[in-house]
């Protein structure tokens, strides 16, 4: 981190999210999120894998984000659908 980015804060806001359970205690979440900084906002799509704890709360293990760009979303959907 350089001096310019060291003090900047990013706030992440979930705009919408949907989950599908799989396996014993696992789920996949697809969400639209927004990163907010003093310089502006950036929307993106997040694909996350998580699991449920015994008390029902959620924990996330891994996440992948892609830009909210129609061409990139179409590419990802097409490639996943063709596998």
- Residue 46: give its domain's CATH number: 2.30.31
What pTM did the predictor assign? 0.78
Based on the structure, what is the number of domains in the chain?
1
Note the pLDDT of residue 53: 94
Confidence of residue 81 (pLDDT cuts 50, 70, 90): very high
Q: Range of 20's domain? A: 3-82
pLDDT in tens, 2-46: 445 556 799 999 999 999 999 999 999 999 999 999 999 999 999
Note the pLDDT of residue 8: 78
Beta bridge pairs of residue 69 = none
Note the pLDDT of residue 7: 62
CB atoms within 10 A of CB 38: 7
Note the pLDDT of residue 2: 46
Note the pLDDT of residue 63: 94
CB atoms within 10 A of CB 55: 5
């Amino acid at each position: 981190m350089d001096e310019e980015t060291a003090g900047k804060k990013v706030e992440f806001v979930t705009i919408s999210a949907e989950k599908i359970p799989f396996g014993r205690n696992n789920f996949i979440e697809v969400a639209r999120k927004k990163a907010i900084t003093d310089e502006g906002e950036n929307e993106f799509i997040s694909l996350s894998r998580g699991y449920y704890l015994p008390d029902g709360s959620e924990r996330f293990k891994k996440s992948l984000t892609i830009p909210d760009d129609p061409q990139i979303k179409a590419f990802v959907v097409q490639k996943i659908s063709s596998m």
